[in-house]
Chains A and B, each alone.
Chain A
Amino acid sequence: MSEQSLEGRKVILHDMCLRDGMHARREQISTEQMVTVARALDEAGVPMLQVSHGAGLGGNSLQHGFAPHRNEEYWDAVAPVLKQAVMSVLLIPGLGTMKELKSAFDHGVRSVHVATHCTEADTSPQHIACARELGMDTSGFLMMAHLNTPEGLLSEAKKMESYGANTVYITDSAGYMLPGDVSKVVGLLRENLEEATGIGFHGHNNMGMAIANSIAAIEAGATRIDASVGGLGAGAGNTPSEALIAVCDRMGIASGCDLFKLMDMAEDIIFPMMEHIVRVDRSSLTMGYAGVYSTFLLHANRIGEKYGIASRDILVELGRRKMIGGQEDMIEDTALSMAKERGMEIAAASWAAPERCQPVRD
């Protein structure tokens, strides 16, 4: 990083606890917990927070898991406790639809990340246009950004800008990027996008680089950073909000957030919510190292256990097969194929699993 001072720069913190954090909880966060977290974020001055199933609109599915409540129930619970923060949602075309986006708007959601794989921005024009028509703050969200070149990302970002996105995000879904990669691509976007178009960065901490990457993004011109208190999110988690704000405070970057309130929140609310310690461990580091979609983590652990195959082996194979976000079905498929190749018996007994699946009605 250069010695350029960031004193006086402004950044908008967008918290992901109640969306990406759902992944870290196998989509099992109650409305009561949502309200507690949302109220604390609002009181800590966090200006934006995302609330939905981890996979966003339309996420309730066998593919992505069923949350205990519909998105509408979460929004209805959270909206009344927000005094200043804006509530946002994630929409991945091919999974979520404009019908669900309109419902989100009706339930108080005023901002949306319209997310595509980093080479497929042209699957988002109708959703971005629809969000703008509703009057929503609209971001284009280029996932798995490490799988495209800076020039390629610029061309996809320009498409999203042309559809009407107010902000374009570089999204390091696999926690693979290094600060130099982030500086380069954010800098290129900043030089070439319209001045009015904002740039955002969404990191994952799988390689332990989330804070450094976020600061690199700010330095190169990003004004929105996605983070999550306590890092509650997929893989090794999102950029931890409280640590990011501590760094910003020291560097003189203005966020409007209260550092001590965020620290207390991480300690008193978020950490006790974690079912597993969200950290750089063998599986999440493998994802960052091999460039695998962070959300695959808990699925791969579960499937690995079911078929007696190390989850690291499955994750590496998924990386080799170039599977992208949304292809969670290919985790079990890959494990089954690996089991066959290894001459393992696939237990017919997997049929006897006791849990009866009860889908939530979206």
Chain B
Amino acid sequence: MDKVRCALIGSGNIGTDLLYKLKRSELLEPVWMVGIDPESEGLAIARSLGLKTTHEGIDAILQHLAEDNIRIAFDATSAYVHAENSRKMNENGVFMIDLTPAAIGPLCVPPVNLRSLGETENVNMISCAGQATIPIVYAVSRVQSVEYAEIVASLASLSIGPGTRANLDEFTYTTSNAICEVGGARRGKALAIINPADPPMIMRNTIYCLTDDAPDPSRITESVLAIIEEVQRYVPGYKLVNGPVYEGNKVAVFMEVAGLGDYLPTYAGNLDIMTAAACRTAEMFAENMLSGGAPGAAEQAAVEGAGS
């Protein structure tokens, strides 16, 4: 079967982990990886897996996009350069999946809104914490209205690369906004903690929701358990540790995300949930491209179970 050919922009933790996911995809074929550092470990891995690479930045591959028939690009650089990267790719007819917090395109959390993204040339994956927590916020808000949701993501220090570290505010703003826009809470707040414990801690996420009316514990618990199963289809290590706990109008859910250990070890579930979500999103658009449709008209092309 033909696959849709892809380029990865950014050779850090996220780009490299995504590379492994794409290599396993039945619908996507990674062809290029772009970096800016000749010593990059990600670029070396990409070469060893047969990809074409450049360390001269995005401009170095623009001339190759057509001849290599690149249809989808993944941007795992930083929010500050994403808009420019996206413009260059879209101009060349390449669909963009944004793994930075730039969020210039619609926000996507696969189990929540993959099927209703509409016409677009750019989709944003929010943040690792967003991917790990917004399904739970949505699971509560689809049962009853949520006045305020707050998420706390604890991440292993070794899993957080220099780009994320230097731009923590963008992470905070984008995730907080997505808690409302995608999760369905009226107000949202995101907190991130980077923990250097050795051995590294597995990614943990706590989700708090304040419901307008007294929460209905049995319906909310059922909804939360159902969405956890949906996420587990593409991130098997997505696990409920404690809760839901109900106290007044507060619902608390304590999650853990273990990764597949593709690039970084399993503690870095934050990489997996981001890259697996991006891969799943790209597969849906790829399915549509392969069936001859425009990349944006993807509403009907949901690819149940096709995730990596």
Q: Which residues of A contact B (CB under 8 A)?
A: 58, 61-63, 93-95, 97-99, 117, 119-120, 122-123, 125-127, 147, 321-327, 329-330, 332-333, 336-337, 340, 348, 350-351, 353-357, 359, 361-362
Contacts and interface: CB of A to CB of B under 8 A. Distances in A.
A350 B217 CA distance: 12
Contacts of B157: 119-120
B250 A123 contact: no
Contact of A336 (B166, B168, B208, B245): B245
Contact of B242 (A61, A95, A99, A337): A337
Given A332-B245, A350-B246, A117 B168 contact: no
Nearest to B241: A333
Given A97-B173, A98-B169, A126-B169, A63 B249 contact: no
A63 B150 contact: yes
A240 B221 CA distance: 47
A-B pairs with lowest CB-CB distance, top 5? A322-B197, A351-B246, A329-B206, A94-B192, A336-B242
Interface string B143-160: 000011010101001000
B191 A356 contact: no
Instruction: Determine which residue in B193, B201, B206, B250 has the highest number of CB atoms from chain A within 10 A of its CB, and name it.
Output: B193
Contact of B243 (A62, A119, A336): A336
Nearest to A306: B247
Given A117-B193, A327-B152, 6 more contacts: A63-B150, A123-B165, A123-B168, A126-B169, A321-B197, A326-B152
Given A93-B168, A119-B196, A123-B165, A62 B250 contact: yes
A333 to B, nearest CB: 4
Nearest to A346: B245
Contacts of B172: 94, 97
Nearest to A323: B195
Nearest to B247: A353
Nearest to B208: A62
Interface in B112-170: 147-148, 150, 152, 154, 157, 162, 165-169
A126 B167 contact: yes
Contacts of B252: 329, 332
Nearest to B172: A97
A359 B247 CA distance: 15
B166 A125 contact: yes
B169 A351 contact: no
B194 interface: yes
B189 interface: yes
A119 B196 CA distance: 7
B237 to A, nearest CB: 17
Interface in B182-199: 187, 189, 191-198
Contacts of A340: 242
A95 B248 contact: no
Contacts of A61: 150, 189, 191
B204 interface: yes
A337 B241 contact: yes
- The listed residue with most B CB atoms (<10 A of its CB), out of A62, A125, A361, is A62
B166 A126 contact: yes
5 contacts: A94-B192, A117-B196, A122-B162, A329-B206, A357-B249
A122 B158 CA distance: 13
A327 B155 CA distance: 11
A2 B173 CA distance: 50
B210 interface: yes
A215 B191 CA distance: 35
Contacts of B242: 332-333, 336-337, 340
A97 B192 CA distance: 12
B169 A333 contact: no
A47 B187 CA distance: 38
Nearest to A119: B196
B166 to A, nearest CB: 6
B270 to A, nearest CB: 13
B201 A322 contact: yes
Given A94-B192, A322-B197, A327 B169 contact: no
Contacts of B167: 126
Which residue, of A325, A333, A348, has the highest number of chain B Cβ atoms within 10 A? A333
Contact of A329 (B171, B192, B254): B254
Contacts of B192: 94-95
B144 to A, nearest CB: 14
Given A61-B189, A359-B148, A122 B165 contact: yes
A327 B250 contact: no
B196 A63 contact: no
Contacts of A321: 197, 201
Nearest to B171: A94
B248 A62 contact: no
Nearest to A362: B189
Contacts of A99: 169
Nearest to B194: A120
Contact of A350 (B204, B210, B241, B247): B247
A333 B206 contact: yes
A330 B154 contact: yes
Give the most central of B196, B197, B254: most A CB within 10 Å.
B196
Contacts of A353: 247-248
